[in-house]
Amino acid sequence: MKAPLLVIRTFGIVAVLAVLTLALSLVAMRGATPNDASAQVRFVREMIQHHSQAIDMAIRIRDRSADPDLRTVALDMTLAQQDQVGQMRGWMTQWGVPWAGQAMTAEHARQMGMATSGDVESLSTLPVKDAEVKFLRLMIRHHEGALAMAKPMLNDTRPEIRSLARNIQTTQSSEIALMKTFLQQRGATSAAPTNSTDMQDMPGMNHSH
């Protein structure tokens, strides 16, 4: 009877050691907690800035458009990105870094598809049909910028960062395709002219946020 008991105890010890090894491996995979100068914190801060503008644009067009499909997509964008902003701020709190920090420069924001303040405001002042087309053009470019921002983080050491980047890649790629369809239905293309003289007037440019 002693032999089976010894086997059971041995298996128990092996199982505990396996669990401890797995836990230590997971901790090691997560890496050190991101600090204020880390790539993860920069990504999160810049994506919050990026998401905030997308939310603003989506709310503006949803309030004005009568197209149920466009209104639904705008609501989905708003809710999804508001949720992601909340998650990212929660991570920064857990990491012990402030929400505020260096914003994207105007040039970097332009490269990442952000719209100018004038373009955003025009969504509330243009005739509704024109505003719908402009929104779709601006948001396609905006989403393309988000994909570019997310790409370097797809294989990040932090699982929460990887998950967010992959979620952005999947969701926003699908939304780009849908918005291009909406533009085609309106007889428009996805080309969005950029007013470079208004770049310094982008929300969040060159200051803490």
pLDDT reading at 27 higher than 50: no
- 111 vs 22, higher pLDDT: 111
Cα–Cα dist 20/100, whole Å:
37
Confidence at residue 7, expressed as pLDDT on a 0 to 100 scale? 46
Q: Mean pLDDT lowest for which of 5-9, 75-79, 179-183? A: 5-9
Name the burial class of residue 167, with classes exposed (0-12), middle (13-18) and buried (19+) by CB atoms within 10 angstroms of its CB: middle
Cα–Cα dist 58/123, whole Å:
9
- The token duo for 105 is 């420069």
- The token duo for 96 is 């012990």
Confidence of residue 207 (pLDDT cuts 50, 70, 90): very low
Confidence at residue 190, expressed as pLDDT on a 0 to 100 scale? 74
Name the burial class of residue 17, with classes exposed (0-12), middle (13-18) and buried (19+) by CB atoms within 10 angstroms of its CB: exposed
Tell me the per-residue pLDDT of 137-167, one tens digit each, with 9 for 90 and over: 999 999 999 999 999 999 999 999 999 999 9
Tell me the per-residue pLDDT of 39-85, one tens digit each, with 9 for 90 and over: 999 999 999 999 999 999 999 999 999 999 999 999 999 999 999 99
> How many degrees, rounded to 5, is the angle at CA 121 between CA 177 and CA 181?
15
* Average pLDDT of the residues in 173-191: 92
- 34 vs 101, higher pLDDT: 34
Tell me the per-residue pLDDT of 107-125, one tens digit each, with 9 for 90 and over: 887 888 999 999 999 999 9
Confidence of residue 4 (pLDDT cuts 50, 70, 90): low
* CA distances to 23, 48, 121, 156 from 44, in Å: 26, 6, 25, 13
Residues contacting 143, CB < 8 A, separation 6+:
54, 113, 172, 173, 175, 176, 179
**First vs last Cα of the chain: how many Å apart?**
69
pTM: 0.76
